[in-house]
Amino acid sequence: MSKKSEKKVLLSGMQPSGALHLGNYEGALRNWVELQNTGDYEMFNCIVDWHALTSGFDETDKLVPRIYEMAADYIAAGLDPAKTTIFVQSHVKEHAELHLLLSMIVPIPWLERVPSYKDKTESLGLDSYGFLGYPILQTADIIIYRADVVPVGKDQLSHLELAREIVRRFHFLYGEVFPEPEALVTKFQILPGTDGKKMSKSYGNFIALGDGPDEIKKKVMSMFTDETKIHKTDRGHPDKCPVNIYRTIYDPEWTQKIADFCAAGDDSIGCVKCKKNLIRGLVDYFADFRARREELLADPAQIDNYLKDGAERARQRASETMVLVRKAIKMYKPEM
Protein backbone atom coordinates (compact mmCIF):
# COMPACT_ATOMS: atom_id res chain seq x y z
CA MET A 1 0.00 0.00 0.00
CA SER A 2 1.46 3.38 -0.97
CA LYS A 3 2.43 5.94 1.62
CA LYS A 4 -0.40 8.33 2.38
CA SER A 5 0.12 11.77 0.91
CA GLU A 6 0.59 14.58 3.42
CA LYS A 7 -1.58 16.75 1.19
CA LYS A 8 -5.33 16.79 1.60
CA VAL A 9 -7.11 14.74 -1.04
CA LEU A 10 -9.60 16.61 -3.22
CA LEU A 11 -12.21 15.05 -5.50
CA SER A 12 -14.37 16.78 -8.05
CA GLY A 13 -15.90 16.04 -11.42
CA MET A 14 -18.45 16.86 -14.07
CA GLN A 15 -20.80 14.92 -16.30
CA PRO A 16 -19.96 14.70 -20.01
CA SER A 17 -23.48 15.78 -20.89
CA GLY A 18 -22.59 18.37 -23.52
CA ALA A 19 -20.31 21.29 -24.23
CA LEU A 20 -18.80 23.02 -21.22
CA HIS A 21 -19.74 26.68 -21.15
CA LEU A 22 -18.68 29.87 -19.42
CA GLY A 23 -20.90 29.04 -16.43
CA ASN A 24 -19.04 25.74 -15.94
CA TYR A 25 -15.73 27.56 -16.29
CA GLU A 26 -16.53 30.24 -13.71
CA GLY A 27 -18.46 27.87 -11.43
CA ALA A 28 -15.94 25.04 -11.28
CA LEU A 29 -13.12 24.72 -13.77
CA ARG A 30 -11.35 28.01 -13.07
CA ASN A 31 -11.45 27.21 -9.35
CA TRP A 32 -10.03 23.71 -9.88
CA VAL A 33 -7.07 25.16 -11.74
CA GLU A 34 -6.45 27.69 -8.97
CA LEU A 35 -6.60 24.93 -6.33
CA GLN A 36 -4.21 22.79 -8.37
CA ASN A 37 -1.74 25.64 -8.64
CA THR A 38 -1.63 26.17 -4.87
CA GLY A 39 0.05 22.77 -4.55
CA ASP A 40 -1.94 22.12 -1.37
CA TYR A 41 -4.00 19.19 -2.61
CA GLU A 42 -3.68 15.75 -4.16
CA MET A 43 -6.35 16.25 -6.79
CA PHE A 44 -8.61 13.75 -8.55
CA ASN A 45 -10.74 15.28 -11.30
CA CYS A 46 -13.19 12.82 -12.74
CA ILE A 47 -15.28 12.70 -15.90
CA VAL A 48 -18.37 11.00 -14.48
CA ASP A 49 -19.75 9.10 -17.45
CA TRP A 50 -21.89 6.68 -15.41
CA HIS A 51 -23.72 9.65 -13.91
CA ALA A 52 -24.40 10.98 -17.40
CA LEU A 53 -26.37 7.81 -18.13
CA THR A 54 -29.01 8.62 -15.51
CA SER A 55 -30.60 11.05 -17.96
CA GLY A 56 -28.67 10.32 -21.16
CA PHE A 57 -29.20 6.56 -21.30
CA ASP A 58 -30.89 6.89 -24.70
CA GLU A 59 -28.10 8.87 -26.39
CA THR A 60 -25.00 6.86 -25.59
CA ASP A 61 -23.64 7.47 -29.10
CA LYS A 62 -22.73 10.97 -27.90
CA LEU A 63 -20.91 9.83 -24.78
CA VAL A 64 -17.42 9.11 -26.13
CA PRO A 65 -17.12 12.32 -28.19
CA ARG A 66 -18.25 14.29 -25.15
CA ILE A 67 -15.65 12.58 -22.95
CA TYR A 68 -12.90 13.59 -25.37
CA GLU A 69 -14.21 17.16 -25.45
CA MET A 70 -14.42 17.37 -21.66
CA ALA A 71 -10.89 16.01 -21.24
CA ALA A 72 -9.67 18.58 -23.76
CA ASP A 73 -11.53 21.34 -21.91
CA TYR A 74 -10.05 20.28 -18.57
CA ILE A 75 -6.51 20.33 -19.89
CA ALA A 76 -6.84 23.40 -22.12
CA ALA A 77 -8.23 25.34 -19.15
CA GLY A 78 -5.08 24.59 -17.17
CA LEU A 79 -5.50 21.27 -15.37
CA ASP A 80 -2.13 19.57 -15.70
CA PRO A 81 -2.25 15.75 -16.02
CA ALA A 82 1.17 15.63 -14.37
CA LYS A 83 -0.17 17.40 -11.27
CA THR A 84 -3.83 16.35 -11.25
CA THR A 85 -5.28 12.89 -11.78
CA ILE A 86 -7.71 13.27 -14.68
CA PHE A 87 -9.68 10.12 -15.49
CA VAL A 88 -12.98 8.64 -16.61
CA GLN A 89 -15.21 7.28 -13.84
CA SER A 90 -16.07 4.00 -15.58
CA HIS A 91 -12.37 3.19 -16.03
CA VAL A 92 -12.11 2.66 -12.27
CA LYS A 93 -14.44 -0.23 -11.47
CA GLU A 94 -13.98 0.22 -7.73
CA HIS A 95 -16.49 3.08 -7.93
CA ALA A 96 -19.15 0.55 -8.90
CA GLU A 97 -18.17 -1.99 -6.23
CA LEU A 98 -18.28 0.58 -3.44
CA HIS A 99 -21.57 1.95 -4.79
CA LEU A 100 -23.04 -1.56 -4.59
CA LEU A 101 -21.87 -2.09 -1.00
CA LEU A 102 -23.14 1.32 0.11
CA SER A 103 -26.51 0.65 -1.52
CA MET A 104 -27.01 -2.19 0.97
CA ILE A 105 -26.94 0.15 3.95
CA VAL A 106 -28.63 3.35 2.74
CA PRO A 107 -32.36 3.63 3.56
CA ILE A 108 -34.54 4.51 0.55
CA PRO A 109 -36.16 7.49 2.34
CA TRP A 110 -32.71 9.12 2.53
CA LEU A 111 -32.63 9.12 -1.26
CA GLU A 112 -36.24 10.16 -1.78
CA ARG A 113 -35.78 13.29 0.33
CA VAL A 114 -33.02 14.67 -1.93
CA PRO A 115 -34.55 17.90 -3.31
CA SER A 116 -33.49 17.31 -6.91
CA TYR A 117 -34.95 13.78 -6.95
CA LYS A 118 -38.59 14.85 -6.74
CA ASP A 119 -38.10 17.88 -8.98
CA LYS A 120 -36.41 15.98 -11.79
CA THR A 121 -38.69 12.97 -11.45
CA GLU A 122 -41.63 15.27 -12.18
CA SER A 123 -40.00 17.54 -14.76
CA LEU A 124 -37.92 14.97 -16.67
CA GLY A 125 -39.87 11.79 -15.97
CA LEU A 126 -36.80 10.01 -14.59
CA ASP A 127 -37.78 7.04 -12.45
CA SER A 128 -34.92 4.53 -12.72
CA TYR A 129 -32.99 3.05 -9.80
CA GLY A 130 -29.88 4.69 -11.25
CA PHE A 131 -31.49 8.09 -10.82
CA LEU A 132 -32.75 7.30 -7.32
CA GLY A 133 -29.34 5.89 -6.37
CA TYR A 134 -27.38 8.75 -7.91
CA PRO A 135 -26.35 10.14 -4.47
CA ILE A 136 -24.95 6.74 -3.45
CA LEU A 137 -22.74 6.55 -6.54
CA GLN A 138 -21.76 10.18 -5.96
CA THR A 139 -20.76 9.28 -2.41
CA ALA A 140 -18.73 6.33 -3.69
CA ASP A 141 -16.97 8.65 -6.16
CA ILE A 142 -15.83 10.81 -3.27
CA ILE A 143 -14.92 8.34 -0.58
CA ILE A 144 -13.27 5.73 -2.82
CA TYR A 145 -10.32 8.17 -2.80
CA ARG A 146 -10.78 8.90 0.91
CA ALA A 147 -11.22 12.52 -0.13
CA ASP A 148 -10.85 15.13 2.57
CA VAL A 149 -12.48 17.97 0.65
CA VAL A 150 -14.91 18.50 -2.21
CA PRO A 151 -15.17 21.93 -3.85
CA VAL A 152 -18.84 22.89 -4.03
CA GLY A 153 -21.08 25.89 -4.31
CA LYS A 154 -23.55 26.66 -1.53
CA ASP A 155 -26.37 25.10 -3.56
CA GLN A 156 -24.59 21.72 -3.45
CA LEU A 157 -24.04 21.51 0.29
CA SER A 158 -27.07 19.27 0.85
CA HIS A 159 -25.66 16.66 -1.54
CA LEU A 160 -22.37 16.56 0.33
CA GLU A 161 -24.14 16.34 3.68
CA LEU A 162 -25.89 13.17 2.50
CA ALA A 163 -22.49 11.72 1.60
CA ARG A 164 -21.32 12.53 5.11
CA GLU A 165 -24.40 10.80 6.56
CA ILE A 166 -23.66 7.69 4.52
CA VAL A 167 -20.06 7.69 5.77
CA ARG A 168 -21.28 7.95 9.36
CA ARG A 169 -23.66 5.04 8.84
CA PHE A 170 -20.87 2.91 7.39
CA HIS A 171 -18.64 3.75 10.34
CA PHE A 172 -21.42 2.92 12.83
CA LEU A 173 -21.88 -0.52 11.24
CA TYR A 174 -18.31 -1.48 10.35
CA GLY A 175 -15.78 0.89 11.90
CA GLU A 176 -13.94 3.91 10.56
CA VAL A 177 -12.42 3.77 7.09
CA PHE A 178 -13.09 7.14 5.44
CA PRO A 179 -12.63 10.77 6.35
CA GLU A 180 -15.93 12.63 6.45
CA PRO A 181 -15.53 14.78 3.34
CA GLU A 182 -15.62 18.50 4.05
CA ALA A 183 -17.08 21.10 1.74
CA LEU A 184 -14.61 23.51 0.23
CA VAL A 185 -17.16 26.22 -0.46
CA THR A 186 -16.13 28.19 -3.49
CA LYS A 187 -17.03 31.76 -4.36
CA PHE A 188 -17.54 32.36 -8.02
CA GLN A 189 -19.12 34.75 -10.47
CA ILE A 190 -22.60 33.56 -11.44
CA LEU A 191 -23.09 34.28 -15.12
CA PRO A 192 -26.56 34.74 -16.59
CA GLY A 193 -27.40 33.14 -19.91
CA THR A 194 -27.36 35.16 -23.10
CA ASP A 195 -31.10 35.74 -22.62
CA GLY A 196 -30.67 36.98 -19.06
CA LYS A 197 -32.10 33.79 -17.54
CA LYS A 198 -30.13 31.08 -15.73
CA MET A 199 -27.43 29.70 -18.01
CA SER A 200 -28.32 26.15 -19.01
CA LYS A 201 -27.52 23.71 -21.77
CA SER A 202 -31.18 22.80 -21.93
CA TYR A 203 -32.09 26.45 -22.58
CA GLY A 204 -29.44 26.86 -25.28
CA ASN A 205 -28.52 30.25 -23.80
CA PHE A 206 -24.82 29.67 -23.23
CA ILE A 207 -21.46 30.46 -24.79
CA ALA A 208 -19.42 27.26 -24.98
CA LEU A 209 -15.74 27.20 -24.11
CA GLY A 210 -15.06 25.67 -27.51
CA ASP A 211 -16.95 28.31 -29.50
CA GLY A 212 -14.83 30.01 -32.16
CA PRO A 213 -14.85 33.74 -33.01
CA ASP A 214 -17.78 33.50 -35.44
CA GLU A 215 -19.97 31.63 -32.98
CA ILE A 216 -19.02 33.99 -30.17
CA LYS A 217 -19.96 36.97 -32.34
CA LYS A 218 -23.29 35.42 -33.26
CA LYS A 219 -24.20 34.68 -29.66
CA VAL A 220 -23.04 37.98 -28.20
CA MET A 221 -24.83 40.06 -30.81
CA SER A 222 -28.05 38.22 -29.92
CA MET A 223 -27.61 38.78 -26.18
CA PHE A 224 -30.26 40.54 -24.16
CA THR A 225 -29.06 43.75 -22.57
CA ASP A 226 -31.10 46.17 -20.46
CA GLU A 227 -34.70 46.02 -21.64
CA THR A 228 -35.36 49.50 -20.22
CA LYS A 229 -32.52 51.11 -22.19
CA ILE A 230 -34.10 51.61 -25.62
CA HIS A 231 -32.02 54.63 -26.67
CA LYS A 232 -28.40 55.52 -25.95
CA THR A 233 -29.51 58.40 -23.77
CA ASP A 234 -31.78 56.22 -21.62
CA ARG A 235 -30.42 55.43 -18.17
CA GLY A 236 -29.14 51.87 -18.02
CA HIS A 237 -28.86 49.26 -15.27
CA PRO A 238 -25.43 47.72 -15.93
CA ASP A 239 -25.54 45.54 -12.82
CA LYS A 240 -28.44 43.62 -14.41
CA CYS A 241 -27.12 43.59 -17.99
CA PRO A 242 -25.50 40.28 -19.06
CA VAL A 243 -23.19 42.06 -21.49
CA ASN A 244 -21.82 44.34 -18.78
CA ILE A 245 -21.46 41.44 -16.33
CA TYR A 246 -19.45 39.46 -18.89
CA ARG A 247 -17.29 42.48 -19.73
CA THR A 248 -16.26 42.91 -16.08
CA ILE A 249 -14.63 39.46 -16.33
CA TYR A 250 -13.41 39.07 -19.90
CA ASP A 251 -12.77 42.58 -21.24
CA PRO A 252 -9.54 44.13 -19.92
CA GLU A 253 -10.69 47.53 -21.22
CA TRP A 254 -13.78 47.56 -19.00
CA THR A 255 -13.74 50.09 -16.17
CA GLN A 256 -16.31 51.15 -13.62
CA LYS A 257 -16.48 54.45 -15.47
CA ILE A 258 -18.03 52.64 -18.45
CA ALA A 259 -20.80 51.26 -16.22
CA ASP A 260 -21.31 54.70 -14.70
CA PHE A 261 -21.66 56.27 -18.16
CA CYS A 262 -24.24 53.61 -19.07
CA ALA A 263 -26.19 54.25 -15.88
CA ALA A 264 -26.15 57.98 -16.54
CA GLY A 265 -27.43 57.63 -20.11
CA ASP A 266 -24.20 58.97 -21.67
CA ASP A 267 -24.62 58.65 -25.46
CA SER A 268 -20.97 57.59 -25.90
CA ILE A 269 -21.87 54.18 -24.48
CA GLY A 270 -24.36 52.09 -26.42
CA CYS A 271 -25.36 48.44 -26.27
CA VAL A 272 -23.97 47.60 -29.72
CA LYS A 273 -20.59 49.09 -28.84
CA CYS A 274 -20.57 47.14 -25.58
CA LYS A 275 -21.32 43.92 -27.42
CA LYS A 276 -18.49 44.51 -29.90
CA ASN A 277 -16.07 45.11 -27.04
CA LEU A 278 -17.26 41.94 -25.33
CA ILE A 279 -16.74 39.93 -28.53
CA ARG A 280 -13.17 41.15 -28.76
CA GLY A 281 -12.59 40.45 -25.08
CA LEU A 282 -13.94 36.89 -25.22
CA VAL A 283 -12.06 36.01 -28.42
CA ASP A 284 -8.78 37.27 -26.97
CA TYR A 285 -9.33 35.85 -23.48
CA PHE A 286 -9.86 32.30 -24.72
CA ALA A 287 -7.44 32.38 -27.68
CA ASP A 288 -4.81 30.19 -25.98
CA PHE A 289 -7.51 27.89 -24.62
CA ARG A 290 -8.98 27.34 -28.10
CA ALA A 291 -5.56 26.65 -29.62
CA ARG A 292 -4.71 24.05 -26.96
CA ARG A 293 -8.17 22.50 -27.17
CA GLU A 294 -7.97 22.14 -30.94
CA GLU A 295 -4.49 20.62 -30.66
CA LEU A 296 -5.74 18.01 -28.18
CA LEU A 297 -8.86 17.09 -30.15
CA ALA A 298 -6.78 16.71 -33.33
CA ASP A 299 -4.74 14.03 -31.54
CA PRO A 300 -7.13 11.72 -29.63
CA ALA A 301 -4.25 9.36 -28.82
CA GLN A 302 -2.75 12.11 -26.67
CA ILE A 303 -6.00 12.36 -24.70
CA ASP A 304 -6.16 8.56 -24.43
CA ASN A 305 -2.69 8.52 -22.88
CA TYR A 306 -3.58 11.20 -20.34
CA LEU A 307 -6.80 9.40 -19.35
CA LYS A 308 -5.11 5.99 -19.21
CA ASP A 309 -2.37 7.32 -16.94
CA GLY A 310 -4.96 9.06 -14.78
CA ALA A 311 -7.06 5.91 -14.47
CA GLU A 312 -4.03 3.89 -13.39
CA ARG A 313 -3.21 6.38 -10.65
CA ALA A 314 -6.86 6.55 -9.59
CA ARG A 315 -7.17 2.74 -9.49
CA GLN A 316 -4.15 2.47 -7.23
CA ARG A 317 -5.74 4.58 -4.52
CA ALA A 318 -9.23 3.18 -5.10
CA SER A 319 -7.99 -0.42 -4.81
CA GLU A 320 -6.25 0.42 -1.53
CA THR A 321 -9.54 1.80 -0.24
CA MET A 322 -11.44 -1.34 -1.23
CA VAL A 323 -9.00 -3.52 0.72
CA LEU A 324 -9.88 -1.46 3.79
CA VAL A 325 -13.61 -1.62 3.01
CA ARG A 326 -13.69 -5.39 2.52
CA LYS A 327 -11.68 -5.90 5.68
CA ALA A 328 -14.06 -3.66 7.65
CA ILE A 329 -17.13 -5.49 6.35
CA LYS A 330 -15.37 -8.83 7.04
CA MET A 331 -15.85 -10.09 3.50
CA TYR A 332 -14.16 -13.25 2.26
CA LYS A 333 -10.47 -12.78 1.34
CA PRO A 334 -10.28 -9.01 2.03
CA GLU A 335 -6.80 -8.91 0.48
CA MET A 336 -8.20 -9.60 -3.04
Q: State pLDDT tens for residues 211-235.
A: 999 999 999 999 988 777 777 777 7
**Which of the following is catalytic: 120, 240, 276, 327?**
120
CA separation, residue 206 to residues 19, 59, 87, 154, 209 (Å) = 10, 21, 26, 22, 9
Domains, the chain, in order of start with CATH, read 8-191+299-329 (3.40.50.620), 213-285 (1.10.240.10)
Average pLDDT over residues 191-215: 91
154 is catalytic: no
Average pLDDT over residues 40-69: 94
Average pLDDT over residues 83-108: 97
Vertex 313: Cα angle to 56 and 323 (nearest 5) = 90
pLDDT > 90 fraction of the chain, expressed in percent and rounded: 68
276 is catalytic: no
Q: State pLDDT tens for residues 310-335.
A: 999 999 999 999 999 999 999 876 55
Whole-model pTM above 0.85?
Answer: yes
**Which of the following is catalytic: 198, 218, 273, 308?**
198
Residues 6+ apart with CB under 8 A from 213: 279, 283
83 is catalytic: no
**Which of the following is catalytic: 201, 240, 276, 327?**
201
